[in-house]
Amino acid sequence: MNLVRTAMLLAFMTALFMGVGYLIGGQSGMMIALLVAAGMNFFSWWNSDRMVLSAYHAQEISEENAPEFFRMIRDLSANAGLPMPKVYLYDSPQPNAFATGRNPENAAVAASTGLLQMLKPEEVAGVMAHELAHIQNRDTLTMTITATLAGAISMLGNFAFLFGGNRDGENRSPLGGIGILVAMIVAPLAAMLVQMAISRTREYSADRRGAEICGNPLWLASALGKIARGAEHIPNADAERNPATAHMFIINPLSGERMDNLFSTHPDTGNRIAALERLAAEMGSGSTQRPQAANPTRKARSVPNTAWGRGDSQPPKGPWS
């Protein structure tokens, strides 16, 4: 159902873009809009990852300078059956993460320094598994296309005022002034709503698949709660300068959205956690209680002997110590 819904929303976005072109300049305007959309999508398809990573000043890491975190991504990628993506860190006290890239063979995952400082290793594993799920579902490409189309529709809306009006006694818009008004106001708003709807649809799918990749839905559930609280109180200056990238993050870095409403880029965090807890019960992951916050005076709860946990011992400090 999520795939069908996403396909329908993308089809609507494309039709909306061409419709705006028609409202501005009739048949010729529609063809010009189609060519502009194709050009912008081609550029975004090839360059979106570099543009986003550059906007957040992300630095690529290797096994030499961040061995445990790098091995965690490698193990999770193997669990998902994915090629090893490039791994990045970006400097921000706000805990968050995102994925980018045009396909699984050319993908990258990025985590903030705040994420590695505030979350336990198993919670970090849940977050990065979620991002790998986006790559596996090709959500990074889908969201790049929708963001590009939404931006292009807004751009055409601005052009409508300049090029859609009367010239030499003729109105270029087939619908006259009403068409220009729709192109300027209604179409960009509709595009924004479609973009947000696609974002919310893909987050639930990535939560479920990410839980399957890391093996424990409660790890991701616990991480979502911590990230949401951090995002509410810790600003992300780079995200504020690039609000169009907000939909890429596991939690909205701009503000704490609390409802699955039309104007939110992400589902309500409480709803996502509840869905993960139900999934944990289905998978038989044990107690539906989420992991407790780390306490240095108590022994950590048992986690598998993996790159992000060592049985009943204290969780490793990792490269973020």
- Residue 51 — pLDDT band, cuts 50, 70, 90? confident
In whole numbers, what is the pLDDT of the chain averaged over residues?
Answer: 76
Q: Is 266 annotated as a binding residue?
A: no
Question: In total, how many domains does the chain have?
Answer: 1
Question: What average pLDDT does range 127-144 have in this prediction?
Answer: 89
Q: Write the CB contacts of 100 (distance below 8 Å, at least 6 apart in sequence).
A: 48, 49, 52, 53, 107, 108, 110, 140, 144, 248
Check 68, 122, 123, 131 and give the catalytic one.
131
The predicted pLDDT at position 183 comes to 59
3-state secondary structure of 121: helix
Taking the model in full, what pTM does it have? 0.72
Taking 90 as the threshold, does the pLDDT of residue 187 lie above it?
no
Alpha helices in the chain (DSSP H): 2-55, 67-80, 113-118, 121-136, 139-163, 176-181, 187-214, 217-233, 237-241, 269-283
Taking 50 as the threshold, does the pLDDT of residue 271 lie above it?
yes
Half-sphere exposure in the Cβ direction for 244 (13 Å, CA): 16
Q: How far apart, in whole angstroms, are the C-alpha atoms of residue 28 and residue 20?
A: 12
Q: In which residue are the tokens 């805990």 written?
A: 95
Lowest-confidence pick of 29-43, 177-191, 214-228: 177-191
Q: Is 203 annotated as a binding residue?
A: yes
Taking 80 as the threshold, does the pLDDT of residue 203 lie above it?
yes
The predicted pLDDT at position 255 comes to 62
Taking 50 as the threshold, does the pLDDT of residue 301 lie above it?
no
Candidates 133, 232, 242, 243; CA nearest to 196 is 243
Taking 50 as the threshold, does the pLDDT of residue 293 lie above it?
no
What range does the domain containing 242 cover?
Answer: 2-320
Return the number of other C-beta atoms located less than 10 Å from residue 36's C-beta: 16
pLDDT in tens, 210-250: 999 999 999 999 999 999 999 999 999 998 888 778 888 99
* CA 28 from centroid of its chain's CA atoms: 35
Q: Exposed e or buried b for every residue in 258-276, given b needs 16+ CB within 10 A?
A: eeeeeebbbbbbeebbebb
Q: Which residues pair with 110 in a beta bridge?
A: 88, 98
131 is catalytic: yes
pLDDT over 90 percentage in the chain: 41
Taking 90 as the threshold, does the pLDDT of residue 96 lie above it?
yes
Q: Is 134 annotated as a binding residue?
A: yes
- Residue 318 — pLDDT band, cuts 50, 70, 90? very low
Lowest-confidence pick of 28-37, 142-151, 303-312: 303-312
Taking 70 as the threshold, does the pLDDT of residue 169 lie above it?
no
Taking 70 as the threshold, does the pLDDT of residue 111 lie above it?
yes
Joined together, the tokens standing for residue 36 give: 């502009």
pLDDT in tens, 16-26: 777 777 776 67
